[in-house]
Amino acid sequence: MRALNQLFSGLTLSQRKILMLCAIALVALAGAMFGFTSRPQAGGTAASAARSPLSIFASRSPGARADGALFRTKRRLAAAPRSRPRPAVVIPRERVLSPVRIRPGGPLQIAPGAPNVAPQGLSLDAVPLPTSVPGPAFRSPYIPDVGSGYLPFPPGGPVIGAPPVEGGNPVPPPPAVPEPATWMLLILGLGFVGAALRRQTRLPAGA
Amino acid sequence: MLRRIAVLGLPLLAGLALALVLLTSPSGEPQAPRIKRAEPSGTRINYPVGQYPVLRLPDGERRVVHSLLNTAAPHAYGEYVWDDSGVPPGQVWIRVDLALQTISVFRAGHEIGSALILYGAKSKPTPPGVYPVLAKAEQHRSSLYDAEMPYMLRLTGDGIAIHASDVRPSAATHGCIGVPLQFARLLFAQVEPGDRVAIIAARQPPSSI
């Protein structure tokens, strides 16, 4: 207390005023703090009687939406089932026919007592065949034996060589695209011409 | 020396105390009504005559509130509250709060419906503002999104609307406001073209009273 008195007496008038004001402010702040802490109990009933609409709205809310909310309300168009299935990707495959043809189901066999099988169609595989047939080997109906009267070649064997010329121009017209040999000849000739020209120009220069 | 400490230290102490009080009071005050949930009995919170609160819309318009539905508990997603018994016919307006994810329907100053909503995602935000209902369609199929949007209330020319949605947590729309189907049906019956819809922005500080 004495120290305070000493302190107070040593101050000027303005310093005293400032100190008093600070003391008053501190007391007032303490009172205000006490008021804040005791307010919920005191003002609770009054606030509930007439709460502001905004505070009521806020109490209904679950809070702000979380970040990263996605729109999944609408089904994506691409995910919807298509009325027509997407066409499968077709990889083109080239089929090369073999010169040797093998008929499925093994070699074709025809009974000798069934001459009408061949003209009846191609459903030869479906014809029930006897398991054991005596006699000579059976032949394909497409290559009939010579004795049946049908021959793929005229009698005397196939004609080998040029067909008989029947007048007119016997030389066929030259093809539109030259042969490789012709091209080579052309290039060789051009080369010769070029070489000759080079020789001709070089001679006077050297002389 | 003691004098100097007193002259300099006391104001400093006072300033610190003031700062402490100012910092702690705003965080402490809004929690008070949340802890205390003493509501008047009945289905409505009626404001006394002469003390009607006013809600300020984004365009500056002010709307007087006569009563609110007496539900302060948090809504569940997809559920709604609707009670227009005893509410006289009158002007209908809708308040959509994006920050709170809520919608409130008012008729003649009384709140008749409330629900949680879906709103636009960050990439496709719902535009805040005040919009009149341009058109309404009970059955609508979005040509833009190839989706059913029953009970549609169109708000803007570029397709923002209020319509029925599957309201659920952590979902968003392409900018529309999605409401539960039954709520959308009730809302559709109330709203006529020209009625105003106020959309409060998500980041806007609460402006009222």
Query: pLDDT tens, A56-99?
Result: 898 898 888 877 666 654 555 556 666 777 777 777 777 777 77
Which tokens hold the place of B70?
């007496």
Whether the pLDDT of residue B129 is over 80: the answer is yes
Residues 2-61 of B with CB under 8 A from A: 2-3, 6-7, 10-11, 13-14, 17-18, 21, 24-25, 28-30, 32-40, 45, 47-48, 51, 53, 55
Give the tens place of pLDDT for each residue, B48-58.
Answer: 888 899 999 98
Residues whose CB falls within 8 Å of the CB of residue A58, separated by 6 or more in sequence, listed in order: B100, B206
pLDDT confidence tier of residue A45, bands split at 50, 70 and 90: very low
**How does A98-110 read in b/e, with b if 16+ C-beta sit within 10 Å?**
eeeeeeeeeebeb
Residues of B in contact with A14 (CB under 8 A): none
Q: Which of B63, B102, B176 to mutate to test the interface with A (most CBs of A within 10 A)?
A: B102
Which of A47, A57, A69 has the CB atom closest to B100's CB atom? A57
CA distance B28 to A31: 17
Q: Where are the beta strands (DSSP E) in chain B?
A: 44-46, 54-56, 62-64, 67-69, 80-82, 92-97, 102-107, 110-116, 129-132, 135-137, 141-142, 147-148, 152-154, 161-164, 177-179, 196-200
Q: What is the dihedral of CA B152, B153, B158, B160, to 10 degrees?
A: -80
Reply yes or no on whether B176 is catalytic.
Answer: yes
- CA A205 remoteness from chain centre: 67
pLDDT for res B21: 53
Q: Which of A14, A70, A71 to mutate to test the interface with B (most CBs of B within 10 A)?
A: A71
B167-183 CB burial, b ≥16 within 10 A, e <16: beeebbbbbbbbbbbeb
For residue B113, what are its two tokens? 């419906």
Q: Rounded distance, CA B116 to CA B178, Å?
A: 9
Give the pTM: 0.47
Alpha helix positions (H), chain A: 2-9, 13-49, 53-60, 180-206
| B185: pLDDT strictly greater than 90 | yes
Q: Which of A111-120, B60-69, B173-182 is predicted least confidently?
A: A111-120
CATH numbers and ranges of domains, chain B: 11-200 (2.40.440.10)
